[in-house]
Amino acid sequence: MSDFVLNAELRNDMGKGASRRLRSAGKVPAILYGGHKDPTSITLTHNELAHQVANEAFFSHILTINLDGKEENAIVKDLQRHPSKPIIMHIDLQRVSATENIRVHVPLHFINEATSPGVKGGGLVAHSVIEVEVQCLPKNLPEFIEVDLGNLELNQIIHLSDLKLPAGVELVELSHGESHDQAVASIHLPRAAKEAEETGGGETPPPAAPAAGE
């Protein structure tokens, strides 16, 4: 059983006007597609969906959709929010099969930053990537991937290829070749500290000793 369950209803009324009426009634228009089945237009309860969306893991989990007394498994493929109000406008859900690979964006959790040699040496951590797209079977889908910075020195970089992935999980970006092995995190001195280091510490030299007789 999924940790995230959404109760859905079939949607028969289409169009922008119908969508506005649904939102006014506290509903969210949605589409459930894929899985070798026809797309199905559905509606979800806004408050229930908003509560689940507040959990980061919602976007990297297999969801259970209850529809007409039947359960279907799905993942979030797209979610649209109102630009200025706390309203979910629409959500796209893709059915999943236990025997077919899925692609999902999974968050990165950075650990041991404070204890890394680079940070202890005065460096700052730069996060170049905060999530990655993975490919795997639904049963292997990780909630997140840890990035351990505990051994990272000053001016060192962690790349995608350095990440420790769970069994059966691949990074989509790396499937495009070595040139896509992008940086994930690095530690460098702050600019002011680096400039001071390059100029010999940035200290003002002492005044020259006065000449004899002065």
User: What is the set of domains in the chain, with CATH numbers?
Assistant: 4-95 (2.40.240.10), 102-198 (2.170.120.20)
Q: Mean pLDDT of all residues in the chain?
A: 89
The rounded distance, in Å, linking the Cα atoms of 197 and 211 is: 32
Contact at 8 Å (CB) between 192 and 134? Answer: no
The rounded distance, in Å, linking the Cα atoms of 48 and 30 is: 14
Predicted confidence band of residue 21 (pLDDT cuts 50, 70, 90): confident
User: What SS3 state is found at 118?
Assistant: helix
Is the pLDDT reported for residue 49 higher than 80?
yes
pTM over 0.85: no
Predicted confidence band of residue 11 (pLDDT cuts 50, 70, 90): confident
Nearest to 186 by CA among 131, 135, 129, 138: 129
Token pair for 186: 């690095």
**Comparing 156 with 193, which gets the higher pLDDT?**
156
Is the pLDDT reported for residue 32 higher than 70?
yes
The rounded distance, in Å, linking the Cα atoms of 144 and 47 is: 25
Return the pLDDT at 16.
77
127 backbone dihedrals φ, ψ, rounded to 5°: -95, 110
Predicted confidence band of residue 14 (pLDDT cuts 50, 70, 90): confident
Nearest to 60 by CA among 125, 143, 131, 136: 143
Q: How many CB atoms lie within 10 A of CB 210?
A: 7
Least reliable range by pLDDT among 74-83, 144-153, 203-212: 203-212
The percent of residues in the chain predicted with pLDDT above 90, rounded, is 78
Return the pLDDT at 1.
40
